[in-house]
Chains A and B, each alone.
Chain A
Amino acid sequence: MEKILFKYIDVPDQYEIDTYIKNGGYRALPKALKEYSPNDLIEMVKKSGLRGRGGAGFPAGLKWGFVPKDSPNPKFLLCNADEGEPGTFKDRWLIEKDPHQLIEGIIISSYAIGAHRAFIYIRGEFAFGAERLKNAISEAYQKGYLGRNILGSGFDLDLEVYRGGGAYICGEETSLMESIEGNRGNPRLKPPFPASVGLYKNPTVINNVETLSNVPHIVLNGALWYAKIGMPKSTGTKIFSLSGHVNRPGNYELPMGTPLRELIYDHGGGIKDERELKAVIPGGVSTPVLTSQLVNVKMDFESLFEAGSLLGSGAVIVMDETTCMVKVAYRLSRFYEHESCGKCVPCREGTRWIRMIMARIENGKGREEDIDLLLDICTNIAGKTVCPMGDAAVVPIMSTIQKFREEYEYHIKNKKCMVDLGTRFV
């Protein structure tokens, strides 16, 4: 099938505005400004079925519709380019290789919600991407796509790049706002939701890079065109960041609902060294691990939910038979301990405790009662924290115990991995 977001991803100069325009870019913007009212655009995005690509899959048009129309306050559009979910590296490509596609999406989306200021919040480590974006933004200003009275429409928009300091939690929408405001990156309590009380307490829409990059294509080709791609409730394409024990790791743009098997074997070239597939984390490390039996699952929001996991950010981490699941869980427990912002008690204290127990098990000092203790600590975190990070932190532990409990038991009894790790560092 024809690619949408990645259509020109291999064109070397696509990041330059002239190349982007030559390849059909900045054609959706005048169309949006001249032919549609902001409300038409919100309805169009609703009809397209576009859902957020940042992890939660919230319908984009619905979110835009929550912005109060009669509010006298300024409104903001934020593009979430924090891309912190381990395994995810798609936004980086969209930013570095086709920044104008994103910028065009941001301008149209800002017009739709009535924002005159927009920010791209990009993770600190993406220094190159931030440069690319800044250059692209100044090109867009020069051509009159940003600034005052864009293309004679009377619509004004200023767009800025804001570089984060490299904290996972600053990808969470309210921490991201705190961070832009110059505060410590800690989540706020919800409600109120950003659509009414967001950046500087003003109505704010926040969307992921991939979500916003889809918008120009929807405007150009129509909502129905988009809705026909993929699955009925998960429309469009999805960029899957494929990593782990596959022959051809990388970003693959495929229709929603593409079977996992096709992604791994046809696109990813199958498992390395012809080993057996053991497990897959289908949507970034905050989503429950799937066993190899579920390799035929379709990659969309509904199908993965039914299979007991989530589509998340679309980061597919493939693990072969030489992978020790205890080691995987231990590694991820270190990530969550390190990234917990420390605001609320269960996540702050619980992630550290979990990591300590995991370290003991991994190092041959596990006790029989540790497995149930881990599960109980997870229960005391899940659903009891300020932000969803607490729920995410327990996912790798709970799902590996649920599906690979015997490996934990073996580790505790025999003080070593159940699997033969082979010669390779896993």
Chain B
Amino acid sequence: MDRADKTDTDEADMVNLSIDGKEVTVEEGTTILKAAQKLGIEIPTFCWHDKLEPVGACRMCLVEVEKMSKLQIACDTVVSEGMVVKTNTPQVIKARKGVLEFLLINHPLDCPTCDKGGECDLQNFVFRYGSDKSRFVEEKRRFIVDPKSKLDDLSISPQIIRNMNRCILCRKCVRFINQIAGENDLGTFRRGAKSEINMLPDIPVDNPYSGNVVEICPVGALTSQSFRYKIRVWQTEKVHTICPNCGDGCNITLWAKDDRVYRITSRRNDRVDEGFLCDKGRFGFEFVGLGGG
């Protein structure tokens, strides 16, 4: 993902730009998003992920760039010398509000029973940038998996449950499986507003890294069987530790309460684990706290 394709011995060319009036110098080939992060300026994103190729699909990171007539996506626009970026103008704020409104009109708003509540990007960004009124008076779209039970949930693997109604189609899950895990277990099916993320027909997701999609999902579209409906995240205690399953020693966080572990997530350490865990490390914690001692 190093756009400039620099080797260690190359001296990187530096570029000066300003974001919201603050000057910053970054390496040539850096995106606006990365430059803003360097300055501590938050540009909200849904589909962007550090380790995945940018797709620019969510349009949440649109910013104003001087001399450009349209808003530009911060996640895939490379900086240039003297660039003047603004992340907080009325136009940018309107665009963000627009994206959030589009994402919410068909969203079930079932936060009270959603496992992602409290750590959901959609929830957090609406809280920060969204509107508290809805202009949508039509019937919401609903993906019904089983016409009899009218359930929204679909098991796409023994551990992973998909709820398409909460999905914002950032496709981080599909891209992770494809670009990092190197498989094709997940895909995007159909088109337009009917698009959905799914496993291949009748072939459940089956690869040793599949659990990462639950963690990567910015909303509650992909949740894990073992954590579902057990506890609210904010009622747990976080314990930072190392995965004991193999010699790799991936850095992990245990989410626990009263001596019981509810889930394990990655605690990204790029020198060890790149922020991803294998399913054994992520889901293999049932033995913890079971008697003995």
Find out whether the CB atom of B56 lies under 8 angstroms from the CB atom of A380.
no
Contacts of A167 in B (CB 8 A): 191
Q: Mark A342-383, 1 if CB is under 8 A from B, else 0.
A: 111110111111001100100000000000010000011101
Asked if A340 is at the interface (CB within 8 A of a chain B CB), the reply is yes
Asked if B240 is at the interface (CB within 8 A of a chain A CB), the reply is no
- Closest A residue to B97 by beta carbon equals A380
Asked if B71 is at the interface (CB within 8 A of a chain A CB), the reply is yes
Asked if B192 is at the interface (CB within 8 A of a chain A CB), the reply is yes
Find out whether the CB atom of B102 lies under 8 angstroms from the CB atom of A345.
yes
Partner of A341 from the list B62, B168, B192 (CB cut-off 8 Å) is B192
- Closest A residue to B101 by beta carbon equals A380
- Closest B residue to A383 by beta carbon equals B70
A356–B141 CA distance with the chains assembled, in angstroms: 11
Contacts of B58 in A (CB 8 A): 344-345
Q: Mark A158-197, 1 if CB is under 8 A from B, else 0.
A: 0000000001010000000000000010000100000000
Tell me the minimal C-beta distance from B62 to chain A in angstroms: 6
Find out whether the CB atom of A384 lies under 8 angstroms from the CB atom of B71.
yes
Asked if A339 is at the interface (CB within 8 A of a chain B CB), the reply is yes
Contacts of A351 in B (CB 8 A): 192-193
Asked if A386 is at the interface (CB within 8 A of a chain B CB), the reply is yes
- Closest A residue to B188 by beta carbon equals A184
Given A357-B138, A384-B98, do A348 and B71 touch, yes or no (CB 8 Å)? no
Contacts of B57 in A (CB 8 A): 343-345, 386
Given A345-B99, A350-B102, do A337 and B59 touch, yes or no (CB 8 Å)? no
Chain A interface helix/strand/loop/mixed: helix
Q: Mark B194-232, 1 if CB is under 8 A from A, else 0.
A: 110000000000000000000000000000000000000
- Closest A residue to B54 by beta carbon equals A189
A346–B59 CA distance with the chains assembled, in angstroms: 8
Asked if B95 is at the interface (CB within 8 A of a chain A CB), the reply is yes
A189–B58 CA distance with the chains assembled, in angstroms: 12
Find out whether the CB atom of B55 lies under 8 angstroms from the CB atom of A343.
yes
Asked if A385 is at the interface (CB within 8 A of a chain B CB), the reply is yes
A170–B148 CA distance with the chains assembled, in angstroms: 36
Partner of A344 from the list B59, B106, B141, B191 (CB cut-off 8 Å) is B59
Contacts of A346 in B (CB 8 A): 59, 98-99, 102
Find out whether the CB atom of A348 lies under 8 angstroms from the CB atom of B56.
no
Find out whether the CB atom of A345 lies under 8 angstroms from the CB atom of B59.
yes
Asked if B38 is at the interface (CB within 8 A of a chain A CB), the reply is no
Contacts of B135 in A (CB 8 A): 373
Asked if A132 is at the interface (CB within 8 A of a chain B CB), the reply is no
Find out whether the CB atom of A189 lies under 8 angstroms from the CB atom of B55.
yes
A356–B139 CA distance with the chains assembled, in angstroms: 9
Given A344-B57, A345-B58, A373-B135, do A189 and B76 touch, yes or no (CB 8 Å)? yes
Interface size on A, residues (CB 8 A): 31
A250-264 with Cβ < 8 A to chain B: none
A381–B59 CA distance with the chains assembled, in angstroms: 10
Find out whether the CB atom of B98 lies under 8 angstroms from the CB atom of A353.
no
Contacts of A348 in B (CB 8 A): 102, 169, 192-193, 195
Asked if B129 is at the interface (CB within 8 A of a chain A CB), the reply is no
A169–B218 CA distance with the chains assembled, in angstroms: 27
Contacts of A339 in B (CB 8 A): 191-192
Contacts of A184 in B (CB 8 A): 187-188
Given A340-B193, A345-B103, do A353 and B59 touch, yes or no (CB 8 Å)? no
Tell me the minimal C-beta distance from A347 to chain B in angstroms: 8
A317-349 with Cβ < 8 A to chain B: 337-346, 348-349
Tell me the minimal C-beta distance from A426 to chain B in angstroms: 25
A352–B190 CA distance with the chains assembled, in angstroms: 15
- Closest A residue to B136 by beta carbon equals A353
Find out whether the CB atom of A342 lies under 8 angstroms from the CB atom of B102.
no
Find out whether the CB atom of A380 lies under 8 angstroms from the CB atom of B94.
yes
Given A344-B56, A385-B59, do A380 and B192 touch, yes or no (CB 8 Å)? no
A339–B193 CA distance with the chains assembled, in angstroms: 10
A343–B136 CA distance with the chains assembled, in angstroms: 21
Tell me the minimal C-beta distance from A311 to chain B in angstroms: 21
Find out whether the CB atom of B56 lies under 8 angstroms from the CB atom of A342.
no
Find out whether the CB atom of A342 lies under 8 angstroms from the CB atom of B62.
no
Find out whether the CB atom of A380 lies under 8 angstroms from the CB atom of B193.
no
Find out whether the CB atom of A189 lies under 8 angstroms from the CB atom of B192.
no
Contacts of B98 in A (CB 8 A): 346, 379-381, 384
A344–B56 CA distance with the chains assembled, in angstroms: 8
Contacts of A385 in B (CB 8 A): 59
Tell me the minimal C-beta distance from B219 to chain A in angstroms: 13
Partner of B141 from the list A341, A352, A380, A383 (CB cut-off 8 Å) is A352
B30-83 with Cβ < 8 A to chain A: 54-60, 62, 69-71, 73, 76
A189-220 with Cβ < 8 A to chain B: 189
Find out whether the CB atom of B191 lies under 8 angstroms from the CB atom of A341.
yes
Contacts of B191 in A (CB 8 A): 167, 169, 338-342
Asked if B105 is at the interface (CB within 8 A of a chain A CB), the reply is yes
- Closest B residue to A386 by beta carbon equals B56
Find out whether the CB atom of A342 lies under 8 angstroms from the CB atom of B71.
no
A69-84 with Cβ < 8 A to chain B: none
- Closest B residue to A367 by beta carbon equals B137
A345–B57 CA distance with the chains assembled, in angstroms: 7
Determine which residue in B58, B70, B98, B103 has the highest number of CB atoms from chain A within 10 A of its CB, and name it: B98
Tell me the minimal C-beta distance from B41 to chain A in angstroms: 20
A184–B195 CA distance with the chains assembled, in angstroms: 12
Find out whether the CB atom of A349 lies under 8 angstroms from the CB atom of B105.
yes
Could you tell me which A residues sit within 8 Å of B by CB distance? Answer: 167, 169, 184, 189, 337-346, 348-353, 356-357, 360, 373, 379-381, 383-386
9 A-B pairs within 8 Å (CB atoms) are namely A189-B73, A189-B76, A338-B191, A343-B55, A349-B193, A351-B193, A352-B192, A357-B138, A380-B98
Known A342-B188, A345-B58, A380-B102; 9 more pairs at CB < 8 Å: A184-B187, A343-B169, A345-B102, A346-B99, A348-B102, A383-B71, A384-B70, A384-B71, A384-B95
